[in-house]
Amino acid sequence: MKRTRLLNSELSYAISRVGHTASITVCDAGLPIPADVKRIDLAIERGYPSFVKTLDVILSEMMVEEIIVASEIHLKNPEVFQAMMDICQQHEMQPVVTEVPHEEFKRLTQDSEVIVRTGECTPYANVILKSGVVF
């Protein structure tokens, strides 16, 4: 049995396959997911698992050099944005933060290797994680 925090085998496998600068999107329950991008659907019910908890576990396994968020998050969901920044710091990461309009964010998700859907039901709780390197 694995000793690390992440127990979901499909998600663990997806992270292990992501190369430098490739991306994984972590999203709320409402973000449209392009048909041609692999989906890992963790959503069980409203709010579970939460976006913040899911991101925390993913960052325990993945090095991230850049995050992309919708600029609307600052007005509509500043608590989740702050939680993202806190989690990055807890995992000793200081990624570049790129902000784009939500419509552009949705377009950028098409380039993700995988999209992880959570049960989060708060606005703009979405992030694109660009993989970094550990050396």
Is this structure's pTM higher than 0.85?
Answer: yes
Q: Could you tell me the residue ranges of all domains in the chain? A: 9-131
Find residue 70's DSSP bridge partners.
Answer: 100
**Cβ atoms 28, 121 nearer than 8 A:** yes
pLDDT for 13 equals: 96
Contact at 8 Å (CB) between 36 and 113?
no
**Tens-digit pLDDT profile for residues 21-63:** 999 999 999 999 999 999 999 999 999 999 999 999 999 999 9
Active-site residue list: 20
* DSSP assigned state of 110: G
pLDDT at site 3: 75
Q: State the architecture of 9-131 in CATH terms.
A: 3-Layer(aba) Sandwich (3.40)
Known binding residue 126? Answer is yes
pLDDT of residue 75: 97
124 is in an annotated binding site: yes
pLDDT of residue 1 exceeding 70: no
Query: In this predicted model, what pLDDT tens digit does every residue of 83-99 receive, in sequence order?
Result: 999 999 999 999 999 99
Please tell me whether 125 is known to bind a ligand: yes
